[in-house]
Structure 1
């Protein structure tokens, strides 16, 4: 395993990351979810795959999280989007396949908006495309007198978390649609009680243009973390296919393990 390194950024806190160097394109970037770190099972499974396949791979911790929790670092949603963009800009080169887990899929979409020419594939695992809406809900709860719904998130969220959030909504109005220049593959568990599979299906149906090439793999026994060995195997195989550019060029919905 590569040791932890730190990305130095002008005027911003250091970001902890681990990188596998590789000569085979495309590279792979992993974006972790809320309350997760770069040392999760999905990140490590993908790192092992890239190490064996000869592709570059990057994983990192957002500002204020785990190994990026340096003195004076402030967690907020806007800074995490900027973290993701900075990592993509400074630690990757050439074409990339981005894997976003839960909230990481929200970050993934912001990268795709900014660098469409370099993002050649995206994989969303239990994707929280509406993470902005959830953050708005948490903001209202925290500004009220009753914070009981946030007891498991108090270490991650304070009111600073919401600074600069307003411009981050992926779908700012009811008619907003996303058009991607690359394939998008979603892996979703049907026992996910954090991001229900029906919500994911609705987003894919209503929020992506007809020109976007989308595949959906539903896992009947899959939960939100999607970290069982069989789930990790599906994830690695999907990333492998995307890196090998074996996808069909037309949109489809694929249901497996039903």
Structure 2
């Protein structure tokens, strides 16, 4: 049947773009990172794998990301969590899910697992940025950044991936509502974490803290010593697919 696509209506007239592969479950669900989209290398590799092997797979763009509608600057962790919950509730068949979360998507995957524990078979997390607003952004705010947030409600953070990242005061304030560290995090399904040792955005000790905070015993943390944040090299993609298959996705 190939991959189908469409838009999911959301409150306020917004629309979430999605793509879906019908196949055997448990379905893998891609949760992307901050300012990334469902057309990225890892998300596409998982789609190609689902098509080749007849596996169920869903990917989507959060509000203000990729092909979805909305102003990114109005996005918050609350809103993106709600998007993820709506996507799995309305676009999957009710069976078990393997959540595959990258960077911010690792935090959101954890929040979704806490909200829908009966649906989740396992988590596969790539450089999971749990609590990134409070733990990874706020400690690095200098006087100029704090002044911009106070005066304008937004700070344009330089990015190594293109245009600056708009960091809003509402994003930082809202993120505190969803803090899961230092734990314990009551997730007891199998969890696989892939983390680059040369990641400048999510240092490996931060990802390891999440691994240690998760209550379940079947948690495997894989440090890819020469890996970066994206972990999109062919060997990294192979590890990702292997982890998804190991947990049944």
Q: TM-score, normalised by structure 1?
A: 0.82
Contact kept in structure 2, 1:76 and 1:163, CA below 8 Å: no
Contact kept in structure 2, 1:98 and 1:121, CA below 8 Å: yes
How much does 1:70 deviate?
4.2
1:132-211 matched pairs, under 5 angstroms: 132-133=133-134, 134=136, 136-137=138-139, 142-145=145-148, 150-152=157-159, 154=164, 156-162=166-172, 164-171=174-181, 176-205=183-212, 207-209=213-215, 211=216
Structure 1 unpaired stretches of 5+: 245-258
Matched, 1:31 2:34: no
Q: Deviations over 1:2-39 (max 9, x none)?
A: 354100134451101111111x1100000001121111
Q: Show the counterpart of 2:242.
A: 237
Out of 137-146 and 219-228, give the one that drifted further.
137-146
Q: What root-mean-square deviation, in Å, do the aligned CA atoms of Structure 1 and Structure 2 show?
A: 2.6
Q: Show the counterpart of 2:41.
A: 41
Out of 98-107 and 69-78, give the one that drifted further.
69-78
Out of 191-200 and 146-155, give the one that drifted further.
146-155
Q: Show the counterpart of 1:102.
A: 103
Q: Deviations over 1:189-239 (max 9, x none)?
A: 11111111122223323x223x43201122121110000011001101111
Q: TM-score, normalised by structure 2?
A: 0.85
Look up the SS of the partner of 2:56 in the other structure. Answer: strand
How much does 1:111 deviate?
0.6
Structure with the bigger percentage of helix: 2
Matched, 1:130 2:136: no
How much does 1:71 deviate?
7.1
Change in 2 beyond 3 A, CA 1:140/1:96 = farther
Q: Deviations over 1:148-197 (max 9, x none)?
A: 871337554333434643421113xx5x3012231000011111111111
How much does 1:120 deviate?
0.3
Change in 2 beyond 3 A, CA 1:165/1:220 = closer
Contact kept in structure 2, 1:187 and 1:218, CA below 8 Å: yes
Contact kept in structure 2, 1:139 and 1:159, CA below 8 Å: no
